[in-house]
Every structure is written in structure tokens, then in C-alpha cells.
């Protein structure tokens, strides 16, 4: 028989069961006995003290209400200060909060009126029992309500509520042409509130909350894309309310008009918050920057899926802005993560047969790789080369019409080295090109491999030897440090090592080299 996969039953202590049962039964028994005594007293006319007893109940209930309002207001104010001022609005729009506070108020009024009635017109057992039941319920409800408020104000739940309400404003309510302006205002406010929560979390180094904010914004755009085609034309018009928004007010009128014509103001607003978060987290919370890059790729892939070319082009501009900001701040790790997501998007474009857009991404990568080299950040340049090589592999595998142009883009990354650091970086670029040549030869595609060989033909023998030896000495497919990609750029698969040996055998500089007798094939067998 197979072992049971159900969880084993926990053995409970009999003393705990008995004690817990007694703790529940005894108060209930006392409550029932007291209620019965009050009822019998009323039947025998023993309600002379009812006005005195009922007269003190309003003070008790008002004290309960005061405690509840004081505790809740402090908690709500602290949450509003830390996360977003819209916490107050969310709190008072929640039905449970309104019902509980309304119940406390109704109980206070009932006790007050019953107290006055008992002093002037008398009372009855039913009225006394009902009043005591209300007070008892108010007392018993206090602690569970505090627990609900604490749970309600958890940042994850606040973010979920804000995102859901903003999505409703941008999809369901936006379908009514008469409410387009109001829906726009509410959607803008929701986006800004979500961004405020994430920004405050970044400033306080609260990674989980910042991550939830980024994920919520990306999911919001995904949900929006599913309904975008059904929205009326008035929703996309950038009217006075949008013009006053800071993210639109600083733009040139022509740029604002272009966003309206392209129907992309909503995506622009979300991506603009991403950009602010990215710049805020530079050098501090690089994992948040990685999540921003992932969120931007998610938005781009959603636009690709729904055929929204304008929104897709918009995401490319923001990817470029992330890379520019990373280079300016010399944040290599953030640039490394952005490049990974940018290349992943280009691979999705190739899979969707959007080859021209993928080529545009490749040219952007080349540009920022060369910019990083000039700025003294050679590792970014090397990373760009390896990413472009992977794009070339994917383009070749999918028989892309732009494969040759992608290969030329890769071969244009390297320049004549000016410093030792640039020399080292360009060796890394050459390694990426040599690995790609091995891929082509392993796939029986000699012409593109020959094209790479011609580009490397003027390299010196020591440099070619260095490139070859560094590729052959890498025996681990994963990098030996904890990185997001987990990939060792220099690793060559055993199946391609023979092809790599054949590629380096084409260079006459190495044919006369005594060390050329050390073939990659023997190294591969030794691994």
C-alpha cells in the first residue's frame, strides 16, 4: 500500500480540552442563569432597580465606542502616514467597518433611550434582556473588531484593495461615456496611491511591501489590457483633469497629444511610476529594480498579446530610460537585471514574429553597451554582447528574416580599446562572438560562423589564445556566486566544444602557435 499523504492528526492534551470547554461553558451558563433570573424578577414584579441598572449602561457603551474610535483612529492614521492617505477612504468605504461602528452607535442610542424610558414610563423584562444582550454583544465584538482592523490595514491587503478599485475604475466604470472624466480621476488617484505605497516602502527599505506595489501595478495594466478595446473614445481623451496631473503637466503639448492619439496615457502613467521607483531604488534596493524591469516586461508582453503596438513601443522607451539611469548612477547590478528582462522581451518578440521590433531592441542594447564602455562600466558591455548572442541564436532557430542584421549588430558592439578596462571588456565581447560561432558550426551553418571569423581575423595571436583558453577553462554552467541569471557567460556546452576547436583552427595566427596543439576536444573529454 502507498503511504498516506494526509497530514497526521495532532494529539490534544485532555487538560486543554477540559479547560477550554469549561472556559466557554461557564460564562454561557452564568449568562443564561442571569437572564432567567431577570425574566423571573420581571414576572414577579421585581424590576424596581431596573432604572438604576439601565441608567449606567449608556456610560459603558459610550466608553466602548470611545475605545474603539480611539484605537481605530490611531491605527488608521499611522497607516495613512506610512503608506497612503487613501487608507482613510478605504476604511470608511468598507462595509464591515461601517456596520460595526454603526452597531456601536445604535447600541449607545438604544441604551440611552431605554434608560430614559425606564425612569419615566417603566420597563419590561424583554426590554431589559434586549438591552443587556446589545451591551454584551458590543463587549464581545470589541476584540474581534480590533483584529479585523489590524488585518484590514495590512499593506498587502491595502494594495490588493487599491488595485482592485483602480482596475474597476479603469475598466467597468470607464465604459460609461458620461463617467469617463470621473473614472480617469479615480484611476489616476489609484495609480498614484499604489506608487506612493511602493515608494514609501523603498524609502524605509521594506522590500516585501515595495515588491507587492510593483506587482500590483503590473497586474493592473494586464487587467486593463483585457478591457481596453471595449472602452469608449472619451476615456482616451486627455482632458483638463489629466493635464493638471504632474506627470502630464511637465510634458510638451505635442507629447501629451501623442499619448492621447495612441491611447496610451494609462500605460504611460503606470510606467512613469515604475521609472520613479526605479530611480528611487538605484544603489539601494536592486531587487526592487529587478521587479520593476520584470513588471515592465509583463506590461510589454501584455501589449504584444493584445496587439497594442503603441503600448509596446512605450515600454521600450522606459527600458532604455532604466538603462540610462543605471549607467549614470554606475549601478551595474541594476543594469545587469534590466538587460536580462530586455533580452527576454526581445526573445518573446522573435517568437511572435515581431522581428523588426526585436531588431530595434538589439540596436538599443548595442547603444547602451557602447555607452557603458565609454562610462567605464565594461561588464555591462560584456553582458550586452552575451545577450545579443543569445538573440542571434534564437533568431537563427526561428528562421528570422532579421537574423543577419542581428548578427551585424552584435559584431558592431566592440570598438578599438582605449584603456585596459575596455580591453578586458572587449575580450568578453569576443568570447560571446566565438561562442556564437561554435553554435552555428554545431548547427551546420558555416556562413554566419565565417562572418564572425572574418570580424576576428585581425586579432593578435595572444588575444585569440586568451579567448580560447578562457572559454575552455570554464567547466561550470552556473556562476559561482548568487546572481539572478545564474549563468556563467564563459561556459561552452560539451556538444559545442568540438565546433569551437574547429572555429579557432581557422585562424592562421593559432595554427603556428605551439599551444594550439591543446585542442578543445581533449579538454572536453577531461571535464
Is residue 125 very low, low, confident or very high in pLDDT (cuts 50, 70, 90)? low
Cell numbers at 523, concatenated: 579538454
Is residue 109 very low, low, confident or very high in pLDDT (cuts 50, 70, 90)? confident
Is residue 146 very low, low, confident or very high in pLDDT (cuts 50, 70, 90)? confident
User: Model confidence over 489-508: pLDDT tens digits?
Assistant: 777 788 888 888 888 888 88
Q: With contact defined as beta carbons under 8 Å apart, do 186 and 199 qualify?
A: no
Can you give the pLDDT at residue 180? 72
Cell numbers at 502, concatenated: 574547429
User: Model confidence over 4-17: pLDDT tens digits?
Assistant: 434 444 444 444 44
Can you give the pLDDT at residue 100? 82
**Mean pLDDT of the region 332-354:** 93
Q: Locate cell 469549561: which residue?
A: 22
- In angstroms, rounded to a whole number, what is the distance separating the alpha carbons of residues 393 and 401? 13
Can you give the pLDDT at residue 63? 77
Got the DSSP string for 11-63?
PPPHHHHHHHHHHHHHHHHHHHHHHHHHHHHHHTT--TTHHHHHHHHHHHHHH
DSSP state of 166: H
pTM reported for the whole predicted model = 0.76
Per-domain residue ranges for the chain?
Answer: 29-41+49-153, 155-329
- In angstroms, rounded to a whole number, what is the distance separating the alpha carbons of residues 164 and 219? 10
Q: Locate cell 548612477: which residue?
A: 329
Q: Is the pLDDT of residue 67 over 90?
A: no
Can you give the pLDDT at residue 527? 26
- In angstroms, rounded to a whole number, what is the distance separating the alpha carbons of residues 100 and 146? 11
**Mean pLDDT of the region 365-393:** 91
Amino acid at each position: 500500500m502507498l503511504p498516506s499523504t494526509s497530514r497526521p492528526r495532532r494529539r490534544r492534551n485532555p487538560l486543554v480540552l477540559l479547560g477550554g470547554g469549561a472556559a466557554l461553558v461557564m460564562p454561557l451558563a452564568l449568562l443564561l442563569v442571569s437572564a432567567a433570573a431577570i425574566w423571573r424578577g420581571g414576572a414577579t414584579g421585581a424590576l424596581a432597580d431596573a432604572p438604576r441598572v439601565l441608567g449606567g449602561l449608556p456610560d459603558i457603551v459610550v466608553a466602548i465606542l470611545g475605545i474603539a474610535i480611539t484605537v481605530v483612529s490611531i491605527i488608521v492614521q499611522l497607516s495613512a502616514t506610512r503608506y497612503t492617505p487613501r487608507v482613510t477612504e478605504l476604511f470608511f468605504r468598507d462595509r464591515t467597518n461601517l456596520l460595526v461602528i454603526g452597531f456601536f452607535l445604535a447600541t449607545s442610542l438604544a441604551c440611552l433611550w431605554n434608560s430614559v424610558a425606564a425612569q419615566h414610563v417603566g420597563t419590561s423584562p424583554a426590554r431589559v434582556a434586549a438591552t443587556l444582550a446589545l451591551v454584551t454583544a458590543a463587549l464581545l465584538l470589541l476584540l474581534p473588531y480590533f483584529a479585523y482592523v489590524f488585518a484590514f490595514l495590512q499593506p498587502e491587503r491595502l494594495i490588493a484593495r487599491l488595485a482592485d478599485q483602480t482596475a474597476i475604475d479603469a475598466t467597468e466604470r470607464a465604459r460609461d461615456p458620461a463617467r469617463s472624466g470621473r473614472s480617469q480621476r479615480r484611476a489616476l488617484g489609484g495609480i498614484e496611491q499604489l506608487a506612493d505605497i511602493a515608494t514609501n516602502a523603498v524609502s524605509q527599505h521594506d522590500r516585501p511591501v515595495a515588491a507587492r506595489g510593483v506587482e500590483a501595478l503590473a497586474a493592473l495594466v494586464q487587467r486593463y489590457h483585457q478591457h481596453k478595446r471595449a472602452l469608449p473614445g472619451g476615456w482616451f481623451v486627455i482632458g483638463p483633469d489629466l493635464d493638471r496631473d504632474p506627470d502630464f503637466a511637465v510634458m510638451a503639448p505635442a507629447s501629451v497629444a501623442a499619448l492621447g492619439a495612441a491611447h496610451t496615457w494609462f500605460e504611460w502613467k503606470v510606467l512613469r511610476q515604475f521609472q520613479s521607483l526605479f530611480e528611487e531604488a538605484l544603489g539601494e534596493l536592486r531587487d526592487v529594480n529587478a521587479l520593476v524591469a520584470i513588471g515592465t516586461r509583463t506590461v510589454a508582453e501584455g501589449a504584444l498579446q493584445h496587439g497594442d503596438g503603441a503600448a509596446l513601443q512605450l515600454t521600450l522607451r522606459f527600458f532604455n530610460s532604466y538603462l540610462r539611469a543605471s549607467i549614470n548612477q554606475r549601478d551595474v547590478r541594476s543594469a545587469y537585471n534590466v538587460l536580462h528582462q530586455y533580452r527576454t522581451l526581445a526573445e518573446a518578440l522573435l517568437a511572435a514574429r515581431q522581428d523588426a521590433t526585436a531588431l530595434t531592441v538589439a540596436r538599443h542594447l548595442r547603444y547602451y553597451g557602447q555607452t557603458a564602455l565609454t562610462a567605464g562600466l565594461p561588464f555591462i558591455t560584456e553582458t550586452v554582447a552575451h545577450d545579443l548572442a543569445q538573440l542571434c541564436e534564437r533568431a537563427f532557430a526561428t528562421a528570422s528574416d532579421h537574423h543577419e542584421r542581428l548578427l551585424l549588430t552584435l559584431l558592431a558592439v566592440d570598438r578599438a580599446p582605449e584603456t585596459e578596462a575596455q580591453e578586458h571588456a572587449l575580450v568578453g565581447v569576443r568570447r560571446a562572438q566565438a561562442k556564437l560561432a561554435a553554435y552555428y558550426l554545431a548547427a551546420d551553418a558555416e556562413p554566419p560562423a565565417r562572418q564572425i571569423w572574418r570580424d576576428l581575423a585581425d586579432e593578435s595571436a595572444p588575444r585569440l589564445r586568451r579567448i580560447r583558453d578562457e572559454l575552455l577553462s570554464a567547466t561550470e554552467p552556473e556562476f559561482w556566486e548568487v546572481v539572478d541569471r545564474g549563468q556563467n557567460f564563459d561556459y561552452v556546452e560539451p556538444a559545442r566544444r568540438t565546433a569551437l576547436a574547429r572555429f579557432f583552427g581557422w585562424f592562421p595566427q593559432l595554427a603556428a602557435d605551439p599551444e594550439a596543439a591543446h585542442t578543445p576536444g581533449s579538454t572536453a573529454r577531461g571535464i
